[in-house]
Structure 1
């Protein structure tokens, strides 16, 4: 099986996360995120899935647009690592900017579905 076929479902989930952020599709984000997921922000703050979704719901994290720069994925069995770089126009805790963000994502496959289990974001 080719690498492109193996990595395509993981890339789809990574892109769905961006889509969900832009459209505020909390149901999509809930579905593609593992219950025990942890999100680490630029500030070093860590959030649980429920805290992260709540921040999106109340508008403390608001995403306007995103341009994908790169997406690299490595799959090993039921685990995957992705490094995704995007230029994201967002208002984060009141500060709007176009952020050059690199997300280091860990995904796990559960019942034939990939889910985000960890996300660490930094500027690049």
Structure 2
């Protein structure tokens, strides 16, 4: 595909050289080179492959976050989650990172155990959606129970490392 696009771009540039003034030819050649570069860059994006090491890294971060939730380790949670993190609860309620961490710290949300059943990954541009089927044993705003909760988390590489972004 890359070879065909490169050859087509070259042939178009050659054809354009036979028509018009030198200034027009130069502009047309530059435009053809720009198109070739754009195609090459889009091909590189498509070639990005999510490796098992990437998946393992995301799972490790997610498990570290869950253990910090159980331990009420606010320092670790604060370090793992970006400042613009938004928690989305099974009810659809959203909380800022600050609000959610405050509820964990003050005991409004107590997490006791996480039981995973499956991880799946899908790449969406520069982000990866990690879906987790899990059951959570917790006491949330006074109600204790074990609930099946989807654990969808978005990850993105920032400064060369995977980070939870949502």
**SS of equivalent residue, structure 2 residue 152:** strand
Q: Unmatched 5+ residue regions in structure 1?
A: 119-124
**SS of equivalent residue, structure 2 residue 132:** strand
**SS of equivalent residue, structure 1 residue 107:** strand
TM-score by length of 1: 0.85
Q: Which ranges of 4 or more aligned residues in structure 1 deviate by more than 4 Å?
A: 75-78
Once the 2 structures are TM-superposed, how far is the Cα of residue 76 of structure 1 from its aligned partner? 5.7
Give the number of the structure whose residues are more often strand, by fraction.
Answer: 1
2:31 corresponds in structure 1 to none
Q: Deviation per CA, 1:9-36, whole angstroms, max 9, x where unpaired?
A: 1111111121111111111111111110
- Residue 90, structure 1, aligned to residue 147, structure 2: no
**SS of equivalent residue, structure 2 residue 102:** helix
**2:160 alignment partner, one of 89, 112, 123:** 112
Once the 2 structures are TM-superposed, how far is the Cα of residue 75 of structure 1 from its aligned partner? 4.4
Q: Unmatched 5+ residue regions in structure 2?
A: 1-48
Kept in 2, the 8 Å contact 1:62–1:90? The answer is yes
Once the 2 structures are TM-superposed, how far is the Cα of residue 40 of structure 1 from its aligned partner? 1.0
Q: 2-side partners of 1:77 and 1:109: how far apart?
A: 11
Once the 2 structures are TM-superposed, how far is the Cα of residue 68 of structure 1 from its aligned partner? 1.4
Give the number of the structure whose residues are more often helix, by fraction.
Answer: 2
Q: 1-side partners of 2:60 and 2:99: how far apart?
A: 24
Question: Residues 2, 82 of structure 1: CA spacing in aligned structure 2 closer, same or farther, 3 A cutoff?
Answer: closer
TM-score by length of 2: 0.65
2:27 corresponds in structure 1 to none
Q: 2-side partners of 1:18 and 1:79: how far apart?
A: 21
Equivalent runs, 1:1-124 vs 2, <5 Å:
3-75=51-123, 78-118=126-166
Higher RCO (CA 8 Å, separation ≥ 6 residues): 1
Q: 2-side partners of 1:76 and 1:7: how far apart?
A: 14
Question: Residues 37, 21 of structure 1: CA spacing in aligned structure 2 closer, same or farther, 3 A cutoff?
Answer: same
Q: CA RMSD in A?
A: 1.8
